[in-house]
Structure 1
Amino acid sequence: MATINFLYRSTKDKADLNLRLLFRLSDKDFVLGSKTKLEVSKEYWSKQHNQKRPKEISIANKQLEINQELLKIENHILSAFNSEDALNVSKEWLNLQMDLYYNPKAKDKAIPKSLVEYIDFYITYRKHELKDNSIKRCNVIKNKLMRFQEYRNKLILIKEVNDKFKNDFVDYLKSENYAQNTIQRDVVFIKTFCKHARFLGLETHPQLDTLKVDKQKVPKTYLSFNELALIEKANSLPDHLDNARDWLLISCYVGQRVSDFMRFTKEMIRVEEGKHLIEFTQKKTGKLMTVPLHEKVIEILNKRNGEFPRAISDQKYNDYIKDLCKDAELFNKVHGSKLVEVGEDSGKFRKEFKDYEKWELVSSHIGRRSFATNFYGKIPTTYLIYITGHSTETQFLQYIGKSNKDLAMEISKYF
């Protein structure tokens, strides 16, 4: 026996109701959640929805409208639950049923069996979940697969994505001068598309789950505290580089992505117990963050009468901080990669790995990595992970390039 509850779980004045499915299996209680697309106000749900015989006709009509929709959703979910083996019921299953409720024709639509076509289907199917950057990556991979299809003159079927396909695809991308880690990421995405197709009932190859491409270890470029001091001391800078320098220093002490810190304003700051905190919502994750401001950031704000530097485009920021680090004489050679054009006027750019002067490898992401690397061992890793937003400590350590040997040396300090 399963039951359905509807909840208002948002802090906003208006929000979509949450659905909760409760059932018992083998003496164990399960609670699964999903979202509806039924928007109500917090005031209505908390004060008016459960009124008995409301005097206001508008409230009575609203109750009727809402209750009819909730009943339809409840009947749809419970009907699907009763037709399914409870062992197969999961959060993913519940989200699928909600999607089928709002897109019933999807049941009748033929699901594409070719990989290239399926990517468009995948983007449409998950349109409410995918971020713009994820959609962009999906389309980039789709274009590569289209060129690969043309190269081998054969349609790529989802059920044929096996070890031979992987090897042929990797060989093709290498012939096109793509970097090893780009290839590895593309194969991971392709597996994601195929696993999603399998979830919807399409046939996939038995080898799919074991497909793997090794990652190439790439040095993690960051700015040390000594290098940040050199950047800070650079003088006689034009206004645009001084502005970029302040953003770079801020990024190295708050550990956030450029899409977040470039939106900082003084209105986001509050002071509690003498500590300056900045509160914002991460653009990529949608996570509400409260981060303490380092004294270096406070110095920059004081220099600018409490204001953050002027916001500039990502492209200008990338260009300016390269010029800035060149002015700061960061000429030491480090191994890394940057995009270079393959052939004169080819319009094709690929990553090239070799030794570069450090200023050449500086980009907008270096602030977040510098923060994580510089403060590792100085601030508890749990706190660093909270600020950077990594899901696990393993993911965080990979991000800053810590090897098993590095960890062993860290542990040895306690012996």
Structure 2
Amino acid sequence: MATIKFSIQSKNTNAPIYARLSISANKYAKRKTRETINPENWNAKKGLPKNIISGTENTLKISEDLKQRLSEIETFILEQYRKRDETEIINGIWLEEIINAYYNGGRKIVQLDYLDNYLEYYKTDVLPFRTNRGKRIADATTKKQITIINKINEFVKAGNRRLKVSDWDVSVSNKFEQFLDSQGIAKGTIGRYIKYPKTIINHAKTLNIEVSKNIDEIKGYTTETPTIFLTEKELQAIQKITFLEPQLETAKDWLVIGFYTGQRASDLLQMNPKMFTNIDGNTFINLHQQKTKNGVLIPMHDEVKKIIEKRNGQFPPIFSANIESAKTIFNNHLRTIAKKANITRLDFGKKYDETTKRFIYGQYPLCEIISSHVCRRSFATHNYIKVPTPIIMAVTGHKTEKEFLNYIGKDFNDQSKKILQYWNTAKTAPEQLEQTKTAN
């Protein structure tokens, strides 16, 4: 039978009180509690504070409170020992955890049943070490999950009730979706956001924390995604204009570089001559994408070479040392130069509405909705079919062909139609050749 006895090991005025858990004659564990006592008031034989017969009211109260806490600690330790799991190893580490649990409101595993505690634990003890296919997850993914955790905490706080991990089911997820919508978050973003809690909460199973049985029924969704791109003709219309304002001329040069390199603005605006590499007499741009950490090797197009030569071997200057600010300025300048070039064809996109504080999707003049992302999408769209898809993906960094086709607003039917076009062209080519010979 397990027993608890308290002791002190110091002669100092505030001697720490230790708890000793005895399981058998040769098996015991001892750890310090957070209680202290003056050795003069300690009964070593009984392992308890002495009974104080006289003293001030405050002295008597302190003594009685200490006796009460030690009694509670004893009961708590023995109860946890009685309820222990078969796999638990009873030693000093276990006893220390139990003593800390007494002061912290319960054992760690029990505390993690509550969603707020679990999310904090996940953020600090799990997320920094999560991997995908044997590699540490990207910083962008980590930031995204932290954003979701913050949104969940805001949602729970707004509901004014504490949730357990097991409470997160389809019903709660639907309410979370309504909460996100009330914040003016775009539908497409909400569709991505609602599936992340499932990923985060499902990890609780590894800690033997109960999770809702229908959590896997929670599904994210996608909305129609704008696939805005510039045609080569539209790009040439912009190139023909010489902008007197230096920043607009800089934005034009970055647009041309982006059109022929196919990179996100976060990678595009950080290109520098150190990334140049020569292979078989040809110049390539060698960079690692910030978002995916993929290494890509981009052949330097003649139009890009012209800009680099014009700028004495340098890329155009960036608009701000802060990349997010630089992207914002770039976006504003793109709309200005597109408007001056009269790029006004209607396209499906989104514009921010100051009244509703959210993006509204619809048909707008291209010059009003163009942004830095047009660079990467234009590269992918412009080269589609002309260049084998895997080669384009090697530059854009897309992982799968399905992902790439969705990105440019195409599907596998489009490829089948292109094959038919090639076949029809192949049929007519010999006939045209024969006619030419006859005419000669």
Relative to the length of structure 1, the TM-score reads 0.67
Q: Is residue 123–residue 146 contact of structure 2 (8 Å, CA) maintained in 1?
A: no
Q: How far apart, in 2, do the equivalents of 1:224 and 1:115 lie?
A: 50
Q: What are the superposed Cα offsets for residues 336-378 of structure 1, whole Å, 9 maximum, x if unpaired?
A: 11333345xxxxx422112222122122222111111111111
Cα distance, 1:253 vs structure 2:
0.7
Cα distance, 1:194 vs structure 2:
1.2
Q: What are the superposed Cα offsets for residues 46-82 of structure 1, whole Å, 9 maximum, x if unpaired?
A: xxxxxxxxxxxxxxxxxxxxxxxxxxxxxxxxxxxxx
Root mean square deviation of aligned Cα? 2.5
Q: How far apart, in 2, do the equivalents of 1:414 and 1:113 lie?
A: 61
Q: Which amino acid aligns with 1:224?
A: T
For the pair shown, the structure with the greater C-alpha radius of gyration is: 2
Indicate whether 1:161 and 2:171 are aligned: no
Cα distance, 1:135 vs structure 2:
4.1
Q: How far apart, in 2, do the equivalents of 1:156 and 1:323 lie?
A: 49
Structural mapping, 1:118-267, within 5 Å? 118-124=118-124, 125-127=126-128, 129=136, 131-267=138-274
Indicate whether 1:401 and 2:409 are aligned: yes
Report sequence identity in percent.
32
Q: How far apart, in 2, do the equivalents of 1:403 and 1:285 lie?
A: 24
Q: Residues 297 and 187 (structure 1 numbering): CA distance in 2 closer, same or farther, change over 3 Å?
A: same
User: Which structure 1 residue ranges, 4+ long, deviate > 4 Å from structure 2?
Assistant: 108-111, 128-132
Q: Which amino acid aligns with 1:126?
A: L
Q: Residues 177 and 284 (structure 1 numbering): CA distance in 2 closer, same or farther, change over 3 Å?
A: closer
Q: Residues 151 and 123 (structure 1 numbering): CA distance in 2 closer, same or farther, change over 3 Å?
A: closer
What residue is the counterpart of 2:57 in the other structure? none
Q: How far apart, in 1, do the equivalents of 2:207 and 2:376 lie?
A: 38
Q: Is residue 262–residue 375 contact of structure 2 (8 Å, CA) maintained in 1?
A: yes
Q: Is residue 116–residue 142 contact of structure 1 (8 Å, CA) maintained in 2?
A: no
Select 1:382's aligned residue among 390, 393, 400: 390
Cα distance, 1:292 vs structure 2:
0.9
Cα distance, 1:232 vs structure 2:
0.9
Indicate whether 1:321 and 2:334 are aligned: yes
Q: How far apart, in 1, do the equivalents of 2:115 and 2:151 lie?
A: 12
Q: Which amino acid aligns with 2:396?
A: T
5+ residue gaps in structure 2?
Answer: 1-86, 88-99, 101-106, 130-135, 320-325, 424-440
Q: Residues 379 and 194 (structure 1 numbering): CA distance in 2 closer, same or farther, change over 3 Å?
A: same
Q: How far apart, in 2, do the equivalents of 1:396 and 1:156 lie?
A: 39
Cα distance, 1:149 vs structure 2:
2.2
Select 1:352's aligned residue among 360, 368, 376: 360
Find the residue that maps to 2:385 and give its secondary structure. Answer: coil
Q: Residues 285 and 177 (structure 1 numbering): CA distance in 2 closer, same or farther, change over 3 Å?
A: closer
Q: Is residue 113–residue 165 contact of structure 2 (8 Å, CA) maintained in 1?
A: yes
User: Aligned residue pairs: how many?
Assistant: 305
Cα distance, 1:117 vs structure 2:
4.2
Q: How far apart, in 2, do the equivalents of 1:357 and 1:117 lie?
A: 48
What residue is the counterpart of 2:421 in the other structure? 413
What residue is the counterpart of 1:335 in the other structure? 348
Find the residue that maps to 1:127 and give its secondary structure. Answer: helix
Cα distance, 1:131 vs structure 2:
4.6
Q: How far apart, in 1, do the equivalents of 2:342 and 2:121 lie?
A: 50
Cα distance, 1:156 vs structure 2:
3.4
Find the residue that maps to 2:195 and give its secondary structure. Answer: helix
Relative to the length of structure 2, the TM-score reads 0.64
5+ residue gaps in structure 1?
Answer: 1-82, 84-104, 344-348
Structural mapping, 1:38-57, within 5 Å? none
